[in-house]
């Protein structure tokens, strides 16, 4: 029974990743034609992954480092945006 749940979770993760890639590619046309900032937003995680892979040497470590960097940079952006709106 546990094995079935593990496979179910893996399938759901795979479907979720495919949906993220699909919707990302669908919306990439709008973001990439809009500005260079949109292009940077799509290219930055890939660039971070490549740099982390060159430093660490493993794909797993690079993926974890990329996820941590993007999550922390998003959190920092929220803090800066909140502080900016608080003081203005």
Q: Are residues 87 and 68 in the same domain?
A: yes
Q: Where are the alpha helices (DSSP H) in 1-88?
A: 2-34, 36-56, 59-87
Q: Are residues 4 and 24 in the same domain?
A: yes
Q: Are residues 18 and 49 in the same domain?
A: no
Whether 6 and 20 have beta carbons less than 8 Å apart is answered as no
Q: Are residues 22 and 4 in the same domain?
A: yes
Domain extent for 9: 1-34
Q: Are residues 52 and 85 in the same domain?
A: yes
Q: Are residues 43 and 69 in the same domain?
A: yes
Q: What is the pLDDT of residue 81?
A: 87
Q: What is the pLDDT of residue 15?
A: 92
Q: What is the pLDDT of residue 54?
A: 95
Q: What mean pLDDT value characterizes the chain?
A: 85
Q: What is the pLDDT of residue 51?
A: 94
**How many other C-beta atoms are found inside a 10 Å radius of the C-beta of residue 52?**
21
Q: Are residues 13 and 49 in the same domain?
A: no
Q: What is the pLDDT of residue 30?
A: 67
What's the pLDDT tens digit per position in 1-15? 889 999 999 999 989
Within the chain, which residues score under 70 in pLDDT? 28-34
């Amino acid at each position: 029974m546990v094995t079935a749940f593990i496979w179910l979770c893996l399938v759901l993760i795979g479907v979720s990743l495919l949906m993220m890639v699909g919707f990302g590619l669908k919306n990439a046309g709008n973001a990439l034609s809009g500005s260079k900032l949109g292009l940077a937003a799509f290219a930055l995680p890939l660039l971070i992954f490549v740099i982390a892979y060159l430093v660490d040497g493993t794909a797993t470590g690079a993926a974890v480092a990329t996820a941590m960097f993007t999550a922390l940079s998003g959190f920092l952006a929220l803090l800066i945006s909140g502080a900016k709106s608080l003081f203005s």
